[in-house]
Structure 1
Amino acid sequence: MLKDRIKNLFILIIFMIIFDGFIYYKTGSLSPSTIKNNIFFIGVYLITCFIIYVISRRNG
């Protein structure tokens, strides 16, 4: 199950890089809010994975 979460995290990061590259291509720059949003989404994903891990350990 950990392999799936790591794989999903890498897929999320790859899509963020592609999306940021498209924004950079269109506008010529990246705003700090875009980078903060990316960090926020990765943090939410990691916290969600941790909560699911704790709940599954408690039930299992």
Structure 2
Amino acid sequence: RIQKMVAHEDPANPLSDDAIAQMISTDGPVLARRTVAKYRDMLHIPSSFQRKRQGKLNGM
């Protein structure tokens, strides 16, 4: 689910780990931000800051 959420996010305004945790927790198991960060790291997905910076670089 995290991969799908990140794949469909706005590159100019990427989802933070906290936002992802809240979205998953509303209709699924309750996840902490650090749990989302752990799974994001395991999936080799950069942080929201890094994704935003990469989006700006690709837009140039």
TM over 0.5: no
Query: What band does the TM-score fall into relative to the shorter chain?
Result: 0.3 to 0.5
TM-score by length of 1: 0.34
TM-score by length of 2: 0.34
Q: Looking at CA atoms only, which structure, 1 or 2, has the larger radius of gyration?
A: 1
The structure carrying a bigger helix percent of its residues is 1
